[in-house]
Structure 1
C-alpha cells in the first residue's frame, strides 16, 4: 500500500447529519436556546452522545457557557455541554505530541481544563446518577487525570449499568486498556474481542477489532502486520458481525465504523473489502482514524482512489 499525495480535502465532523450542523451553528453563535432544543430532542444514549460530542468540536463555547448555566441553573444540559466540551478543550491544550515533546505549560493547561471539565461532569452524575453521557465522558477524562485502574473501571461500569453497549464508552475504554495508558497488549485485545463477541450483531462496536490491531502496530511494520493471515481473518470476522451485517444501522455517527474498517482493509491489502466500505461511506470521511497518517480528508480520498483502482472498480 502506498500513500498517494493529493490536495487537501475537508472532513465533515457532522458526518452528514443536518441537525448536528444546526447544533454547531447555534453553539458558534452562542444561541444556547436552539442548542438546548436540539440536544434534548433525542433519548437514545448513543445518539445523545453523538450530539454532545458535536458540541466539543465548536471553538469558543467555554467563553460563554457559564451564561447558559446561570440562566438555567436547574438544567443539567449546559453543565453537560461544558463538561464534554471541556474534556476536548483540555486535549487541545495538551496536543498530540509525545510527552517528551510536550511543554510543562501545555501539561499545566491540560490539567486545569480537565479539572474544570470533571467538576462539571461530577456534578451532573451527582445530580443524575443515570446520565450516561457524563459517565462516558468521565471514562475519556480518566486517562488524562491518571485516576487509576479501579476508578476508570468504576466509571465504565456505570456506563454499562445504564447502557450495556455504549459505543463511545467502549472506544474510550479500549484506549485506556492500551499499553501506553494503564493496560497491556493482552488486556487490550481481550477487552476488544470480548466486547465484540458480546455486542449485538450489527453493532459498530465491531470496530474495536481493527482499532486494537492499529494501536498494537501503529509504529512498527504496519502493513506487514495487517497482511498476516490471522489478522486478515479477524478483520473479516469482525466486519461480518458489524458493518457488513444486515442489522447495521445508519444512524447518527454511523460513518465512524466503516471508516475504521476501510482503513484496516487497505492496510491488509483487502482492496475489494475496502472498496465495499468506501461505497457505503460515500464522501463521509471521519477525522479518526485517517488523521493518524496526516490530513484526514486527503488520506481518505487518496486511499479510496487506490482501493478502487486495485479492486478494479
Structure 2
C-alpha cells in the first residue's frame, strides 16, 4: 500500500507540468519573444528535454502566424524552421479534430493533410542541413502516422531516431500510435512493439509506460463492456503492475525530469480502469493534483476525468 501522506491538492491543468523552463518557453512564445524562446530551446540538455520543450511549442496557438519573422531574421539557423515544423504537426491535428476517422469530414482531412505536408517540408529543410537532428526525425515519426506512409518507410523513420538516441520516449510513443489498430497496425503489432521496447529498456525507464498505453488503447478500441472485462483481467493487471515496478514504482525512480507527468498519469488511469486501486492511488499521489491533457482527454475533459478517477480510487482503496 502507498497511502496519501497529505491532503491531495485541487487538480490543475498545467501545460508546463510544473517545469519552470517549459513554463518560460510557453510564455515567451505566447508573447512572440522568439529571442528568449531561442535561448530557452538552446538550453535543452539532450534530445529528450528538447522533445519535452517542443511538445510545449506545439500547444501554443498562433505560432504559424509569426514564425516567419524569426526565420527571416535568422536565415542561417535551423532552429526557427524546426520550431515551425514541429508546431505545424500539432497544428495539423487541430485541423483534423480528435474524433475517429468515420466522424471526420472531408474538409477536415484536407486541412489535416495540407498542414502535415507543410510540416514535413519544414522538417526536411532542417534535415537537409542537419541530418542528425533527432527532434526533426522524431516529429517525422508523428507525421508519418497522419499521412499514412507505408510500413517500411514508417519503420525507417523511427529507426533513424533510435540510431541517434535509442531511448527517445516521444518517438517510441508515436511509433506505438502508428502501430495501433485505429491507425496503420493491429493490436498484435502494438503489443509486440510495446513489450519489446520495455524489455530492451531495462528497469527504471519510462519506456515501460508503453505497455500501459497499449492496454488503454485496446480497452478504448473495444466495445465498452468487453473492454472493461479485458482490462480487469488478471493477466492485464499483472502486466500493468510489472511495468510500473520497472518504471514509476522502481526504488530509484524520481517523479521529475522531462515529461514525467503524463507518463505517470497513464499508469494512474490504467490502474483505475483495471481496479488496481492501491497502485492507482500511488500514481495519483506522485501527480499531486497535476493534470495533463494526455491521457485524460481520451475520456473527456481532463480536469473532470482526473478528478473523478482520483476520487473513485480514493473511495475504493483497501
- Which runs of 5 or more structure 1 residues have no equivalent in the other structure? 1-7
Q: Distance in 1 between matches of 2:211 and 2:200?
A: 13
Cα pair 1:222 1:267 within 8 Å, conserved = no
Tell me the CA shift for residue 76 of structure 1: 1.1
2:155 aligns with 153
- After superposing the two structures, state which structure 1 stretch, 99-108 or 39-48, moved more: 99-108
| Match for residue 262 of structure 1 among 248, 251, 268 | 268
| Match for residue 236 of structure 1 among 236, 241, 248 | 241
1:15 aligns with 17
RMSD: 1.3
| Match for residue 272 of structure 1 among 269, 278, 301 | 278
1:38 aligns with 40
Tell me the CA shift for residue 200 of structure 1: 3.4
1:212 aligns with 214
2:231 aligns with 226
2:190 aligns with 188
Query: Given the alignment of the two structures, is residue 291 of structure 1 paired with residue 297 of structure 2, yes or no?
Result: yes
Q: Distance in 1 between matches of 2:109 and 2:183?
A: 16
2:113 aligns with 111
Q: Distance in 2 between matches of 1:100 and 1:244?
A: 39
Length-normalised TM-score, structure 1: 0.94
Q: Distance in 1 between matches of 2:179 and 2:253?
A: 26
| Match for residue 73 of structure 2 among 65, 71, 74 | 71
Secondary structure in structure 2 of the residue aligned to 1:304: helix
Tell me the CA shift for residue 9 of structure 1: 5.9
- After superposing the two structures, state which structure 1 stretch, 216-225 or 13-22, moved more: 216-225
- After superposing the two structures, state which structure 1 stretch, 80-89 or 247-256, moved more: 247-256
Tell me the CA shift for residue 86 of structure 1: 0.1
- Which runs of 5 or more structure 2 residues have no equivalent in the other structure? 1-9
Cα pair 1:84 1:137 within 8 Å, conserved = yes
Q: Distance in 1 between matches of 2:124 and 2:202?
A: 30
Secondary structure in structure 2 of the residue aligned to 1:245: coil
- After superposing the two structures, state which structure 1 stretch, 240-249 or 166-175, moved more: 240-249
- After superposing the two structures, state which structure 1 stretch, 57-66 or 99-108, moved more: 99-108
Q: Deviations over 1:11-56 (max 9, x none)?
A: 1111111111111111111110000000000231111100011001
Length-normalised TM-score, structure 2: 0.93
1:130 aligns with 132
Cα pair 1:114 1:141 within 8 Å, conserved = yes
Tell me the CA shift for residue 178 of structure 1: 1.1
- Structure 1 runs, 4 residues or longer, greater than 3 Å off: none
1:5 aligns with none
